[in-house]
């Protein structure tokens, strides 16, 4: 599989994503600069974490206007698999590829720690290597991860099984105490109605190898390979 990792000014998890796909999973990776207007024939696209354009105005607000985003939108519209991680999720929201918006964390502080998320929908291209209800331990690192949308959109997302990951306790209970940022309905990750675009605040690329003491995040990437029928 040929994976394109989009690089914005201020991206800082782009090489982590490349490492997982290329070194850990043995796939081909292309680093695509934000000024490019072509995705160069990739099979999947990753918008990595970081602080694109220094998070000026608001997270993802400037990156959505990068030339490459036209190609990303067209790719997604044609059914191409797109993953946005942390800042990448924020960019997908600003670009209108996913519903809702990100607010400042309820605590108004930057959060960097391991959290637990429950797989609410294991029938997606990004979670099919997981079990429904499985709890994953994945780190977060953000100041603006407080997901919000209006009640009508939330109800539609719930009805369409678009809420893929929710913050939970280690035992899998979705509680207010398990919510690190105040995110609506404990939302940690969502997909679009078509199911080919995923946005998630936790960083699976930071926990995809034994050497890191945890490889729960690897399941997200393995799911995509499985959906693409790629043998690892």
Q: Is residue 73 part of a domain?
A: yes
Q: Which domain holds residue 200?
A: 2-227
Looking at residue 43, the DSSP 8-state letter turns out to be S
Q: Note the pLDDT of residue 135.
A: 98
The question of whether 194 is a catalytic residue gets the answer no
Q: Do the bridges between strand 28-33 and strand 44-47 make them parallel or antiparallel, or are there none, so unpaired?
A: unpaired
Q: Is residue 232 part of a domain?
A: no
Q: Is residue 154 part of a domain?
A: yes
The question of whether 205 is a catalytic residue gets the answer yes
How many domains, in total, are found in the chain?
Answer: 1
Q: Do the bridges between strand 146-148 and strand 101-103 make them parallel or antiparallel, or are there none, so unpaired?
A: antiparallel
> Taking the mean position of all CA atoms in its chain, how far away is CA 213?
21
Q: Is residue 207 part of a domain?
A: yes
Q: Which helix (H) or strand (E) holds 155?
A: helix 151-159
The question of whether 86 is a catalytic residue gets the answer yes
Averaged pLDDT, groups of 10, the chain, 232 residues long: 97 97 97 96 97 91 96 98 98 98 97 98 98 98 97 98 98 98 98 98 97 96 95 75
Q: Note the pLDDT of residue 148.
A: 98
Tokens matching residue 22: 């290329």
Active-site annotation holder among 34, 130, 203, 207: 203
Q: Note the pLDDT of residue 231.
A: 77
| CA dist list (Å): 163 to 60, 105, 130, 150, 228 | 21, 19, 15, 14, 22
Tokens matching residue 170: 């280690």
Active-site annotation holder among 13, 86, 130, 168: 86
pTM of the model: 0.96
Q: Note the pLDDT of residue 57.
A: 87
Q: Note the pLDDT of residue 96.
A: 97
Return the CATH number at 36: 3.40.50.880
Active-site annotation holder among 34, 94, 142, 205: 205
């Amino acid at each position: 599989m040929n994976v394109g990792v989009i690089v914005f000014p201020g991206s800082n998890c782009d090489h982590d994503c490349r490492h997982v796909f290329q070194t850990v999973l043995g796939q081909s990776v292309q680093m695509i600069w934000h000024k490019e207007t072509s995705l160069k024939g990739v099979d999947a696209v990753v918008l990595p974490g970081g602080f694109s354009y220094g998070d000026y105005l608001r997270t993802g607000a400037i990156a959505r206007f990068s030339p490459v985003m036209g190609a990303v939108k067209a790719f997604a519209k044609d059914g191409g698999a797109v993953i946005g991680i942390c800042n990448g999720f924020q960019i997908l929201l600003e670009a209108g590829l996913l519903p809702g918006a990100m607010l400042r964390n309820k605590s108004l502080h930057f959060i960097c720690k391991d959290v637990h998320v429950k797989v609410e929908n294991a029938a997606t291209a990004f979670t099919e290597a997981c079990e429904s209800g499985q709890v994953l331990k994945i780190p977060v690192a953000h100041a603006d991860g407080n997901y919000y949308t209006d009640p009508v959109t939330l109800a539609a997302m719930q009805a369409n099984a678009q809420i893929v990951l929710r913050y939970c306790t280690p035992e899998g209970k979705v509680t207010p105490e398990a919510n690190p940022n105040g995110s609506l309905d404990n939302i940690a990750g969502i997909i679009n109605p078509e199911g080919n675009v995923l946005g998630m605040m936790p960083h699976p690329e930071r926990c995809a190898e034994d050497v890191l003491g945890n490889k729960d995040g690897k399941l997200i990437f393995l799911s995509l390979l499985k959906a693409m029928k790629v043998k690892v």
